[in-house]
Amino acid sequence: MKKITETNAVERWANQYPEVKRWLAKLQVKAKNAFNLYRFCQWCGKEPPELLKLKDDRASVEAEKLLDDFVVAEINLTNAVKFQCTTAVKSFFKHNYKDLARASGAMTLEKVKPTHKPRKDELRKLWNWCLNPRDKALITFVNSTAVAKETLSKLQWKHLEDNWETVELPCINIPSELLKGHGIGRYKGVKQITFLTPEAKRDLINYKEWTEQKMNRKFTSEDYVFLETFAPYKPMGYGRLGTLIYNLSKTTGIPFSWHDARRYVETALEETNIHPNWARKIRGRKVKGEESPYSQPAIEQLRAKYREAVPLLEFTSEKPTMSEVDIAKRTALIALRTQLSSEAYKQLEPLILAAKSTEAINEIIDTSKSERERLEPFNRVNKDCQKIVTEGELPKFLNDGWKIVTCLTSGKVVVSNET
């Protein structure tokens, strides 16, 4: 019999057991969980139905003890793999309505590898060593969108905005069903609103044309985006995506995972001083303190903020694909956000975004600075346009030109110096 691996565990092992098929039908990640349950069954010498029989008597703790023994067993599995196996086993029992005690199989998942945030030169090497347009598109895609590996395997062309090829920074609108939590419970209504950088759009167009030529047909909106490179051109599975990046990382000597791409995007967004809620929308996480944040105006505002991060995200060339004018806009907006009030910033932002040259941007900034300096004495005098004062203080304010606005039930008076 052919060796059972993560890529064939479902077909060659799991599908022969109704109990396992029932469990996997409720999961998004099937191959990895099936292989982890298989590892546990191999260790304990029991088939899945035999495992479930251990809980025929609800009072029995034999299954829990077996899982505890697995945790402390000296076997050739890393701590991380053991953790994944225990999680899969408990999930298998749970979805067959024979839950194990929460304390069973308890273990601490220690971080062995340090957190890695890839550098641009590392990403450039990964991209240059890719063997085909699809793999190149995947590298730039995830490092501009922060789309997770599970979502990549289910992404369809309909999730890109209409006529995306002609849009400077195409929007990708991903429903909650394809994200963490699958739109259930506290994840209800969560979407991922993210964008492609110009270089990611370029690579996706190249990949699309290349694949359409190989398939001898055009993609439809219902087609999956990332497919295998050989007939019958099935969608790339979760496990295949993992194998691809593992092999590329090993070949190039660059430590990289799909999750590192999410960290890369998050870091770039933070460096532009983006609001945390805006960053969460781009990464497909639940937004705090907001309702319905996915209207078209909100998406356009998010696109404008994302534009500021593009020079930090692009890596395929040492020379950014953004023009000198776009870079000047981004630099000016980041500086002005720290210098101006939110109202003043909102007035200047559309003017700078509409500028056609660096000279025009500088002129807008200089004019704004001169106007602020001219109004500064007035703003200093009138910084408090209304005050609440006592009756005893009222004559002094009236002598200074303040006017009564209204009298409060407390006996105090609201006065104003507005002209």
| Mean predicted confidence (pLDDT) in 195-199 | 94
Quickly tell me which residue has 């289910």 as its tokens: 154
Alpha helices in 45-109, H assignment, sequence order? 48-53, 62-72, 79-95
For 14-49, the pLDDT digits (tens) are: 999 999 999 999 887 888 999 999 999 999 999 999
Percent of the chain at pLDDT exceeding 70: 82
Q: Which residues, in sequence order, are CB contacts of 184 under 8 Å at separation 6+?
A: none
Q: What is the pLDDT of residue 19?
A: 93
Q: What is the pLDDT of residue 366?
A: 79
What is the residue extent of each domain of the chain? 9-95, 120-294, 324-381, 386-416
Q: Is residue 383's pLDDT more than 50?
A: no
Q: What is the pLDDT of residue 297?
A: 59
**Which of the two residues, 315 and 406, has the higher pLDDT score?**
315
Q: At what angle do helices 31-44 and 79-95 cross, to 10 degrees?
A: 100
Question: Per-residue confidence at 380, pLDDT binned at 50, 70, 90?
Answer: very low
Question: Per-residue confidence at 411, pLDDT binned at 50, 70, 90?
Answer: low
Cα distance between residue 312 and residue 334, in whole Å: 13
Q: What is the pLDDT of residue 89?
A: 94
* Burial classification of residue 248, based on how many CB atoms lie within 10 Å of its CB (0-12 exposed, 13-18 middle, 19 or more buried): buried
The answer to whether 10 and 30 have CB atoms below 8 angstroms apart is yes
Average pLDDT, the chain: 82
Q: What is the pLDDT of residue 381?
A: 46
The per-residue DSSP string of 178-210 comes to GSTTTT-GGGTT--EEEE--HHHHHHHHHHHHH
Distances (CA, A) of 415 to 265, 291, 402, 419: 50, 37, 6, 12
What is the distance, to the nearest Å, from the Cα of residue 175 to the centroid of all Cα atoms in its chain? 13
Quickly tell me which residue has 């001219």 as its tokens: 374
Q: What is the pLDDT of residue 237?
A: 87
**Which of the two residues, 88 and 405, has the higher pLDDT score?**
88
For 332-346, the pLDDT digits (tens) are: 777 677 677 777 778
Q: Which amino acid is at 335?
A: A
Q: At what angle do helices 238-252 and 133-145 cross, to 10 degrees?
A: 100
Q: Which residues, in sequence order, are CB contacts of 34 under 8 Å at separation 6+?
A: 9, 10, 13, 14, 20, 24
The alpha-carbon radius of gyration of the chain (Å, integer) is 29
Cα distance between residue 83 and residue 155, in whole Å: 29
Q: What is the pLDDT of residue 382?
A: 46
Q: Is residue 257's pLDDT more than 80?
A: yes
| Mean predicted confidence (pLDDT) in 162-174 | 90
For 125-163, the pLDDT digits (tens) are: 999 999 999 999 999 999 999 888 888 889 999 999 999
Residue among 144, 170, 174, 146 nearest 159 (CA): 174
The answer to whether 85 and 40 have CB atoms below 8 angstroms apart is yes
| Mean predicted confidence (pLDDT) in 209-236 | 93
What is the token pair recorded at 416?
A: 């104003």
| Mean predicted confidence (pLDDT) in 211-235 | 93
* Burial classification of residue 113, based on how many CB atoms lie within 10 Å of its CB (0-12 exposed, 13-18 middle, 19 or more buried): exposed
What is the token pair recorded at 200?
A: 């990611």
What is the token pair recorded at 87?
A: 């999680």
Quickly tell me which residue has 């105006």 as its tokens: 297
Taken in order 386, 390, 396, 401, is the CA torsion positive or negative?
A: positive
Question: Per-residue confidence at 268, pLDDT binned at 50, 70, 90?
Answer: confident
Q: What is the pLDDT of residue 16?
A: 92
| Mean predicted confidence (pLDDT) in 289-295 | 51
Cα distance between residue 328 and residue 297, in whole Å: 24
Taken in order 412, 417, 418, 419, is the CA torsion positive or negative?
A: positive
Cα distance between residue 252 and residue 131, in whole Å: 12
Which CATH number applies to 120-294? 1.10.443.10
- Kindly state the greatest CA–CA separation across the chain: 100
For 81-116, the pLDDT digits (tens) are: 889 999 999 999 999 999 999 888 887 665 545 566
The answer to whether 4 and 35 have CB atoms below 8 angstroms apart is yes
Q: Is residue 320's pLDDT more than 70?
A: no
Most confident stretch, 182-196, 209-223, 254-268: 209-223
Most confident stretch, 149-158, 300-309, 370-379: 149-158
**Which of the two residues, 38 and 375, has the higher pLDDT score?**
38
